[in-house]
Amino acid sequence: MNNKVPGKLEGKLAVVTGASRGLGRWIAVELAGHGASVAVNFASSVADADETVRLITEAGGTAKAIRADITQESEVERLIEDSVRWFGRSVDVLVNNATGPQPMLSIEESSWQIYTDQLEFFVKAPLLLTKAVLAGMKSQGSGSIVNIGSEVAQLGNANFSSYVTAKAAMIGMTRSWANELAPYGIRVNLVAPGWIPVERHKDSDTDGYQKQVPLGHMGEPLDIAAAVSFLASQEAKFITGQCLSVNGGNTFGI
Ligand SMILES: NC(=O)c1ccc[n+]([C@@H]2O[C@H](COP(=O)([O-])OP(=O)(O)OC[C@H]3O[C@@H](n4cnc5c(N)ncnc54)[C@H](OP(=O)(O)O)[C@@H]3O)[C@@H](O)[C@H]2O)c1
């Protein structure tokens, strides 16, 4: 007899962009751990994406790595088509997580192109992905979209304005989409991480940042993943248009 309790995302299909490493990997692992089948999107790191899939399948979950540049419309459409075909159902959960390089530049050093590069990841890509999953979500009368923002939208970090601007835009987009899609049973929320060290931070000194965090320590990728899986699930069925800061109390409200 199988006494396994169904996970809170059992039978759901989740697409996580940028899931080959960093926060995306652990968001994918967490969603799969709660029963979702997960499309593990990545741009170029095949071995890393395969490792995310391995972590999921070895724990008894279901996942497939799907390469797609999420800033390109045709590739986004293929990503969603392949996900739906492979797993045999519409997308239930979309996590807009992927990021490209995040340049720290003064205003003088910044060009409009530097700004649009960030908008490509944090406004254009979520828009393309949301458009691609919407028909399926509307026809099933449910869905959860989780945008990964950042505390920088509240902190306004100096010499980081292109990234800060794009992350701030995600907040307005989240709220407007939440209002527009609520009548269809589709919820849209944002998780705003503080600095969560991932592979690309391996040589960074976190001491200064950590001192200012009220809880007194750095967060871990699974702290973000837990917030995403909560918002993705029916536990959050009455929550939409919200920004959830996961940063040890480093910012309040938004
Ligand atoms: N880590 C933090 O401290 C922190 C704090 C606040 C907010 N955030 C936000 O959290 C999210 C994840 O950040 P992270 O630190 O985990 O990033 P990361 O470790 O640099 O990982 C980036 C991911 O995005 C993928 N990617 C890059 N370009 C892509 C493209 N064109 N199409 C599809 N995928 C692409 C990468 O795939 P490949 O491996 O194939 O290149 C990789 O899987 C971002 O939205 C970031 O702004 C992070």
Predicted confidence (pLDDT) per residue in 163-178, tens digit: 999 999 999 999 999 9
CA dist., res. 27 & res. 232, Å (int)? 11
Predicted confidence (pLDDT) per residue in 122-132, tens digit: 999 999 999 99
Rounded to an integer, the average pLDDT of 178-185 is: 98
Residue 227 Cα, ligand 1 centroid: separation in angstroms? 17
Q: Is 77 in the pocket of ligand 1 (CB under 6 A)?
A: no
Predicted confidence (pLDDT) per residue in 195-212, tens digit: 999 999 999 999 999 999
Residue in 15, 17, 20, 23 to alter for ligand 1 test, most ligand atoms within 8 A of Cβ: 23
Residues 115, 163, 184, 209: which is the catalytic one?
A: 163
pLDDT for 1 beyond 60: no
CA distances from 133 to 103, 185, 215, 247 (A): 30, 14, 37, 29
Q: Is 24 in the pocket of ligand 1 (CB under 6 A)?
A: yes
CA dist., res. 181 & res. 179, Å (int)? 6
Determine the topology of domain 13-246 in CATH.
Rossmann fold (3.40.50)
What confidence score (pLDDT) does residue 171 get? 98
Q: Where are the domains of the chain?
A: 13-246
Active site residue 115: no
Rounded to an integer, the average pLDDT of 225-243 is: 98
* Confidence grade of residue 6 (pLDDT, cut at 50, 70, 90): confident
Question: In whole numbers, what is the pLDDT of the chain averaged over residues?
Answer: 97
